[in-house]
Amino acid sequence: MRKNIVAGNWKMNNDLKATRKLVKQIRKSIKKSNLNTTRVIVAPTFVNLATAVKRSKKSKVEVAAQNMHQANSGAFTGEISAEMLKSVGVKTVILGHSERRAYFNETDALLAEKVNTALAHKLEIIFCFGEELADRKSGNEEAVVGSQIKNALFHLGSDAFKKVILAYEPVWAIGTGETASPEQAQDMHAFIRKTLADKYGNEVADSVSILYGGSVKPGNAKEIFSKPDVDGGLIGGAALNAKDFYAIISAF
The residues, ordered by sequence, that sit 6+ positions from 61 with a Cβ below 8 Å of its Cβ are 23, 26, 27, 30, 40, 41, 42
Window of 13-21, 107-115, 144-152, 167-175 that interacts with ligand 13P by CB under 6 A: 167-175
Rounded CA separation 126/12 (Å): 18
Rounded CA separation 76/237 (Å): 30
Q: How is the chain split among helix, strand and coil, in percent rounded to 5?
A: 50, 15, 35
Examine residue 236 and tell whether it contacts ligand 13P (CB under 6 A).
yes
Sign of the C-alpha dihedral computed for residues 30, 119, 47 and 177 taken in this order:
negative
First to last CA, the chain: 15
Examine residue 237 and tell whether it contacts ligand 13P (CB under 6 A).
yes
**According to the 3-state scheme, what is the secondary structure of 55-72?**
HCCCCCEEEEECCCCCCC
Please report, for residues 27, 41, 171, 200, 242, the alpha-carbon distance to residue 19 in angstroms, rounded to integers and kept in the order given.
Answer: 12, 13, 26, 39, 11
Q: How many helices (H) and strands (E) does the chain have?
A: 12, 8
Examine residue 169 and tell whether it contacts ligand 13P (CB under 6 A).
yes
Give the one residue of 61, 216, 221, 230 binding ligand 13P; rule: CB under 6 A. 216
Q: Which is nearer to ligand 13P, 12 or 109 (CB)?
A: 12
Window of 21-29, 85-93, 209-217, 218-226 that interacts with ligand 13P by CB under 6 A: 209-217
For the bound state, the minimum distance from the C-beta of residue 168 to ligand 13P, rounded and expressed in Å, comes to 11
For the bound state, the minimum distance from the C-beta of residue 53 to ligand 13P, rounded and expressed in Å, comes to 20
Examine residue 213 and tell whether it contacts ligand 13P (CB under 6 A).
yes
Q: Which is nearer to ligand 13P, 4 or 215 (CB)?
A: 215
Q: What SS3 state is found at 75?
A: coil
Q: Which is nearer to ligand 13P, 44 or 237 (CB)?
A: 237
Q: What SS3 state is found at 165?
A: strand
Q: Which is nearer to ligand 13P, 171 or 205 (CB)?
A: 171
For the bound state, the minimum distance from the C-beta of residue 70 to ligand 13P, rounded and expressed in Å, comes to 20
Examine residue 9 and tell whether it contacts ligand 13P (CB under 6 A).
yes
Confirm whether 69 is a catalytic residue.
no
Confirm whether 178 is a catalytic residue.
no
Give the one residue of 15, 138, 175, 178 binding ligand 13P; rule: CB under 6 A. 175
Give the one residue of 90, 174, 221, 248 binding ligand 13P; rule: CB under 6 A. 174
Among candidates 251, 153, 240, which has minimal Cα distance to 195?
A: 153
Of 99, 106, 131, 169, the active-site residue reads: 169
Examine residue 234 and tell whether it contacts ligand 13P (CB under 6 A).
yes
In the complex, the residues that contact ligand 13P under the rule CB under 6 A are 9, 97, 169, 174-175, 213-216, 234-238
* Residues involved in catalysis: 97, 169
